[in-house]
């Protein structure tokens, strides 16, 4: 059961890095946030696989890198969900 903990941690770390990049207010850099999150997720997946192998649900390094990359990409999806929910409540208060 502890092996599933790694995926939300990678998602949270990538979300935080994407949020910090967004604070720079650079539109050219904003286009690269999903790619940066994927690369960071792959790196974090590999680091967790090689440091504590039982922490990530993978049996080899390729699976660990794919799980990390998908988790990094999921952080951009989480960002969009949060943005839509926030917009829904802000727009509903105006009416």
Least confident of 12-26, 52-66, 81-95: 81-95
Summarised one tens digit per residue, pLDDT across range 35-76 is 999 999 999 999 999 998 788 888 899 999 999 999 999 998
The stretch 18-35 carries a mean pLDDT of 87
Task: Please state, rounded to an integer, the average pLDDT across all residues of the chain.
Answer: 86
Q: Is the pLDDT of residue 10 over 80?
A: yes
CA distance 12 to 77: 12
How does DSSP assign 75-89, residue by residue?
HHHHHHHHHHHHHHH
CA distance 10 to 67: 9
Give alpha helix (H) positions in 1-95. 6-22, 27-30, 33-51, 61-94
């Amino acid at each position: 059961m502890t092996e599933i903990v790694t995926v939300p941690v990678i998602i949270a770390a990538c979300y935080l890095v994407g949020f910090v990049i967004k604070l720079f207010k650079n539109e050219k850099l904003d286009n690269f946030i999903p790619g940066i999150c994927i690369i960071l997720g792959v790196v974090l997946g590999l680091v967790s696989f090689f440091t504590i192998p039982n922490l990530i649900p993978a049996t080899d390094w390729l699976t660990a890198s794919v799980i990390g990359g998908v988790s990094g990409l999921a952080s951009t999806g989480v960002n969009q969900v949060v943005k839509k929910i926030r917009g829904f409540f802000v727009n509903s208060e105006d009416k």
